[in-house]
Structure formats: structure tokens, C-alpha cells
Structure 1
Amino acid sequence: MDIHEYQAKELLSRYHIQIPRGGLAYSPEQAAYRASEIGGERWVVKAQIHSGARGKAGGVKLCRSDHEIVAAADGMLGQRLVTHQTGQQGKLVSRLYVEEAMDIEREIYLGFVLDRKSERIMIVASSSGGMEIEEIAEAEPDSIIRATVDPGVGMQDFQAREIAFGLGIDNALIGRATKAILGCYNAFVDYDASMLEINPLVVTRQGDLVALDAKMSFDENALFRRPHISEMRDKSQEDPRETFASDRGLSYVGLEGNIGCIINGAGLAMATMDMIKIAGGEPANFLDIGGGASPERVAKSFRAVLRDKNVETILVNIFAGINRCDWVAEGVVKALREVGVPVPLVVRLSGTNMEEGRRILAECGENIIIAETLAEAAEKAVGAWRAHTANKAD
């Protein structure tokens, strides 16, 4: 789960990381009022969306007067901001963050991620901030600092100091930088984060070390023990298809194709999507119904897939181990009769109670295309999609 910049800053400030003074605004007038509360002569108006590269897309504006603040806020609120991370659909801007402008002397990149290979938290830092880490790695690979933390002892002071010295931070700020790095690590662990990024962490001309921007993502499987983090979720920033599915306990990722997929097991789902592409089609989603899918859960999966108006064929591919093919078949029939499936449906069942499952499908009286192998299922799904598309054109 992602959160907004202002929320990440609020969390980091609890760990003694300095942030600019700022306030949230939902209207141009409120944005101007926030600036008057902050004081000063320059302010930054920032669109709050779950995406980076906002500045390049016009989502960050430096303002020097109330008139400029109102104009900037009016131009952002209610608009869909398109960045290279959002795709063409963009993200809706429904709130702004107004903060004091900083006199920046230099910018630093600081990030914390879970490294799956080493099974440890990895710190990635660079003396060149303000860019995406991929750009930094390509343009200045020697500036990248990487360090991992032993989970048995946690991050130590000497590690944070080594990173601070490696970033070329002035000796007078080494203590603050060490404290900030340790604070980020503690926030990462305490909140079950999966990613924490400060870009840029700036050194100001006044000699302060300030988090000018911040991002945090969290492990959704740990949110049950972090209810205050869960409450920060902004569903307006999520794919509505994925939100609908996750609220019903389904593992779903929306894609751009036309063939909806209902599958059990992440590995089989990936293989199925590959086979669809080999057969000449494009998958519309990744959906794993899990290991113990009841008929009701299968019906919920159909509802989730059919919320995507681009879906023109559905492929159900089940290899039952913990699952049972007869349960899945009952769910398919339940969906056909209760939900209504207005597109061609291809079903492949294999494994536990396969014969009973296939019998239920064959005797239900519904129009279902049966396949025995994965390759056959993919071919039939692509063929059904093409035929359906041709019929619509006629």
C-alpha cells in the first residue's frame, strides 16, 4: 500500500527527521490560507498523487504570491496528472500540499528497500539527488552507495555514519545525517514498510538537513497490526479494478488486454498469461483465487474480472491440489447464472475431482468452452476472443 507525500513526512517527523512546514489543502482558497499560516515569501504547491516525477508533469509549482498559489491550485485540483509512472490514464488530484520553499545548497538521494536476494533491508544512497534512482545509476553509477543491515542487531550508528561520510556531507552535519538515517531505518522497521525514499534530502544554505520529498510503501499483509497506517489508504489513487478485488480478498493486478484470467496459483497465472500472449492474445489481468476457493469465491472472481469493460473473453485455468475442481465448477455455474457472463468462457480443470468438475460443467446447460491442456485453453481463449470481436464488428 502506498501513501501520500504529506503522510510519509508526518510519519518520518516522528523519528526526528526535519521536514518543511506545510499544510494540506482541498481548494485554491484553502491553499492560499495555508501559505499565510506558514508565512514567508515563497511556497511550493504540490499535487498529492501516488506517483513520482510530479514536477516534470506540472504537479509541483513554486509560487511567490497568493495569486500564483490560487492559479496553481486551480490548475491542479480535479485534473488527472499524467507521469511516466501513472500511464496514460493518470492519477486524479484531489488534494494539495502547500509548504515553505527551501534555499537548497545540495540534494541527496536516500532510499530503504527490502532486498529479496540478501533477505535484508538495503540502504541505497547517492550524493546526486533530485532524479530517479534509475537515472542516477545510469548517469553517475559511482555515486551509488549500497549497504545492508543485519536483522539480528539492526542498523548500527557506525553504519549510518559511514553512509553519511560516503555522501560527502559536511562534518558539521554528520551527526544530524546519522540521526536521520537511523530514524528512517527505525520508521521502516516499526511500520512494516517495503520501501522508504527521501528524494531529495537537501542541505539548505542555513545548514539544515531537510526531507523535501518522501515516499513510503507498506506490506499489505502486515496492515492488520498497523491500523493507523491502513487508515492512510487513498482508494482514489488505486486502480478501481484492483480495489474492488482486494476488498474481497482476491489477488488481482489489472493489465491492458482483453482476455480475463481466473487462475489458482501465482506461477500458473504467470504461465497462463505467457501462453495467451504466445497464442496471439493479451491478458486483461492477473487474478489468483487462492488455494481453497469456494464456489462463492469463484463467483466473486468473475465479478472482479467483469468490472473491466475491456474484457471480451474469460479463461478459467485451475490445477487443483488444495483446491477441488468440483468446487470451482460449481462457482463457474453460479457465476453464469447469478452474475451473468456476457462474453465467451473457456474453462480448463485439472487435478483433484477433475472428472466431477468437468461433469458439472458439461451438464449445467450453459455455453462453456472446455479445454484439457494449458496450451489448448490459451488457443481456444484467443480464438473465442477473435470470434467475439468479429461478431461485434458485424
Structure 2
Amino acid sequence: MSKYKTQLISEYEQIAQAPIEEAYSLPFAVYKDQDIHSLEMEHIFKSEWVFIVSEQELSQTGDYFAFTLAGEAIVLIRSQDGAVRALSNLCRHRGTLLLDEGYGRVDKNIVCPYHAWTYSDEGTFKGAPFTGKVQLDKKAHCLLQFHLESWHGLLFIHLGTPDKPLSKRLQGIDDYLHHFNLPSFTHGYRSQSLELWHTNWKLAMENAMESYHLFKVHKETLETVTPTKQAFDIAGHFEWTLTGGEMKDNASKLAKWFRGSYPKVFDNYVLISIPPSFVGILTSESLSWVHVLPLDSEQCTVRSAGISNVKTSSEDKTEKAFVDAFFAEDKDICERVQKGMGSTIARGGKLVSMEKVIADFHQFLGNSLFNTPTCDFYEAPKAKLFLSDSGNEE
């Protein structure tokens, strides 16, 4: 390993473990360097619980979502027995990609487009044509299956052998969310495609999880409903972080009268950050999210989706225009930041208090990559509102 690379890794390790009081931006090179990217794929995306999709998005038998994670082609599919499974999306014959990436649906069987080797939607190998005298061991040719666990219908995959279940990874998070009644969110909605962003996955995640940039980047969109100055910390640590903010109530007096009283906690949104791939926005009616997966050191895919307690229409033109607008703003700013990451002279500066969630994210990176120490779990004063029985006390 070169002296430069050794120094870069050492700097990454040192900066990533800093608490917010001492936290700085990560070295620019870690958002471009291919060796750093390979290290993150091995120690994070192949070794951690990674959010992929919700069960509600795969509501019908045969529904699937195919994607690539750390070089592995995978499909999440709802099988005939009603269960969702995480299967390898590669034929056991010669490694052909079985199903097209993105959302789709199969009718009972998965058939390889190359030589028509056939599998059930549970991954069982069913047979192959024209094998002659060669006998195929069916058990040895089933599709590989990966660990898959659910949190409120959100499905997380683990490509390796988990050292702890997902429930332990997310232990304590539900204490702050009970007013929002996540079990009632039974309707799923999703964007129709994955967007390619020319930016490192960490930049996309950092942008999604902090509210510091709203007043500038989203002046005409998000800032009008979730003002930067009303953002606050709730609770968390390196494995998950909750932040929040007060939402502007633009309803008319008549609409407010019809709506009646409701808990004060519903005046706020909760931003749920679960690295490495999930940032969700929770309100009393829905949980929508940004899903980020790396492609290479300078490209990632970004997808939006959500679950709700009411059936929503993807054809709501006003809402779609609003979401498309702020997504485009996020894409532009992240790609703009990525262009600056090639500098070998400039360095990033100090993180401010509103970026504590980013310091938590950096500690996740440092702990996953280098086993560095992390700060203790913290709880901000605002957490009392979310922990209270009524949702009105602070």
C-alpha cells in the first residue's frame, strides 16, 4: 500500500470517530478513491443490515425488486407462499442475470433467458432442458438465499452472517415513534425508476439526513413546509439517529376546524437515519424515504418510496411535481459537491451543531471499517415530546 493511501485511511479513521464538538468533514478523497470504495463494500454493504424495499411495495404474489448490492445481483420476491425472500439473481448454470433490475412480476417460475434453466419463485431449481446424459443435482443448483428481516414492513438484507439481529441493531428506536402508529401504514407507494446520481453514496446519504441545507437548496420547496430554523435533534447514536422539525400548517381556518384537535407531536416530522442506505421522513400519515445504493466510487442509485395509512395515488400531479422538484435540487447539489472532491489541496471544515446526525453517520463508518470507538447514546430535550404518553408534553 502506498504512503498516500496509508495516510488517507489513517485520516479517514481519525476523523470518523470524532464527536460533533470536534467533528470535521471527511477527507475529500474518500468520496472518490476506488480502494476506499472497495473497503466500504466489503466491511459495510457486505457486512451490515442494508435497507432495500418495503413489503408493501411487493404486495402481490410474484412482485419483485431486483438490484445490485456490492457487486451481487439480488432479487427480493414475494413467493407463492406469501413470504418475501432475498435470492441471488444469477443463474446457477453460468451466472446469467435472471430478472431485469427494478420492479417487476413473475408468474410462478423464474426462467433463465440464456438456456432456460428454471427455478421456482422460492429459489428451488426445477430443471433444465437438453441435459443429455448429465445428471443435475437439484439441491446443489438452487438459487442462493440471503438473510432478510423486517422492521415495520421495511426489509433489510444481510449478505454475510449477522452478528446480531436487525431488532437489536434498531433497539430503542420505536420508543420515540409510538404516536405515529407505524403498524397502520399498510399502503405502499413507489417511484417508477432508480435514478443514477453522479455522486458518491456517502454524499447522497449525508445530504438526505441533514436539514441544514433546506433554507438554501430547497428555498422554494421543502423550506416552505419544513423550515431549517425549526429543525432539532431527538435521539440516537451511530447505528440510528432521529432528528425532527416543526412543519408549517398552511391549512385554512375552516380546514383546521374540521380537523379538530390532535396531539402536538403531529405538528412535527421525524427524520429517521439508518445507515448505510435509509433516510425516512415520518409524519402522522406516512413514512416516505430516500434509498441510496452505491454503484462505484462516484456513482450511486437513489430511489424514493413510502408507506401510508391511507391509499395514495401516484398520479397526484401536484405532489409529484413537488417531490420531483426537491429531488432534482438534491441531485444537482450532490453532483456539484462531488466535482469538488477531486481536490488534493483543499480540505473540509468543521461541522456545525445541526450536522450532529452526520457526525453519527461518520462514527458508523469508522466503527464498521476500522472498529473505532463511538459516542454514547444521546437524548435531546425535545425527545420528551415523543416519549410522552399524550404527545403533548415537553
TM-score, scaled to structure 1? 0.24
Q: If each structure's helix is expressed as a fraction of its own residues, which one has the higher value?
A: 1
TM-score, scaled to structure 2? 0.24
Higher relative contact order (CA 8 A, sep 6+): 2
Please identify the structure whose Cα radius of gyration is greater: 1
